[in-house]
Structure 1
Amino acid sequence: MTQAASSPLIDTWYVDPKAEDAMSDGHAPIWRHLIGLVSEIDLSAFSVLDFGCNQGGFLRMLHTMRPFRRALGVDIARKSIERANALKADMPIQYQVGDNVAGLTQEFDLAFSHEVIYLVPDIDRHASELWRALKPGGIYYAVTGCHSDNPLWPQWRGLVAKKTNTVVQDRSVSDYARSFSKAGFDVSARKLGFTGFVPFSEDGWMPNFADALRYYSETKIVFRMVKPR
């Protein structure tokens, strides 16, 4: 992969490396819920891309629940990719460092990203690259609650800058939809609508527990972008 127009490579997402494992544990119920929303059930012949895979937990969970033919996970965090490769066992998954998928053309049936697109420097370019990477009829599910329509965003923006090694971007839900539509996708979206129990945690991200409940049911968005055949 070339690194032109890519995010800078880092060692870990969080300044505190111990937070990486906690992030994966916290995301697991959300990943399980997301997989339940995906209408494509039989993935046995599918190739799958996970953009911003971190330690690779989503693809491992997806393969356990809905086995796929092969998958690629990419991430800018070197140590996260090392961990992902150490954990994949004999699953048909390749993990590699980077975030530029410009060289991939019509390789994937499905693509996913979870809380990554708000960090992409050039969202128009990202949308175009994902469009090219997907086969005709391919689908990109992109999930984020980090958008300027989130009432917690002014507080979160500062926390992301303080606690992580990433550069934050400010975009609305409509900004994302316009970029993916301009790239050629048929764009739709829904609220994540998480229906599981949300654990109580005073980690500084949520001002109070009611905000956490609203965030996972009302604020977090799942985009479904379809590349026309």
Structure 2
Amino acid sequence: MRVPDFVSLNGPDNVGKTTHLVRLAGRWEGLHPLGAVHEHDPEPWARVASGDYARWWFETSTTVELTELLLAGHAKRATAREAGRTGLLDRGLPMLLAVAAATCVVKDGLTIGEAFKTVTGIASSRADAPETSVLLLPSLDAERSYAITSAREGRPWTGIYPAYQKTLHSVLLHQANHGAYTAVVDCEDRSLNDIHADVIDHLGLSRLTDGSPR
């Protein structure tokens, strides 16, 4: 069975990505955890985070600047994959585009369709390695999805962040409805083990793992 070069777990804050990434990494030594994009391109991320990070993200940065920063980190992350292993990504390319598009909506007042056209236009000139992408959704209803993850935060989101998060949930559902992900997992009212079993199956790793940590 041929395994993909990259697999990614995607979804909004507090959906369980980190938990499932850790469990996946413990199942099979052929997976190479590569983390998030900022870990592979730290200098520009440290620079923008050195001041008012939220203001830079939602006010002063341009959509081109933010999107290209995300894509540059994604490209560098891909080069870090060890030969013969499958790169395990915390948010793959579709999710990075979703983040950029949702930011574009709240910052520039565009519709979701207009924001995606802008973001995909910026990304169109880049050649990206194929990935098997799984989207974890707290619910298939955008408002319900946001309510679930915001409750898990443990403290209220403030400023522009609630609007951004609500928009992100709508953007992710838009992507899901347009086939942007290899698979979509509805996590609502399901156990962690049931969700993880779905993730394993959708990533095509069920024949390569024995279900026990290595």
Note whether the superposition's TM-score is higher than 0.5: no
Instruction: Looking at secondary structure, tell me which structure has more helix per residue.
Output: 2
Instruction: Looking at secondary structure, tell me which structure has more strand per residue.
Output: 1
Q: Which one scores higher on RCO, CA 8 angstroms, separation ≥ 6?
A: 2
TM-score w.r.t. the length of structure 2 is 0.37
TM-score w.r.t. the length of structure 1 is 0.35
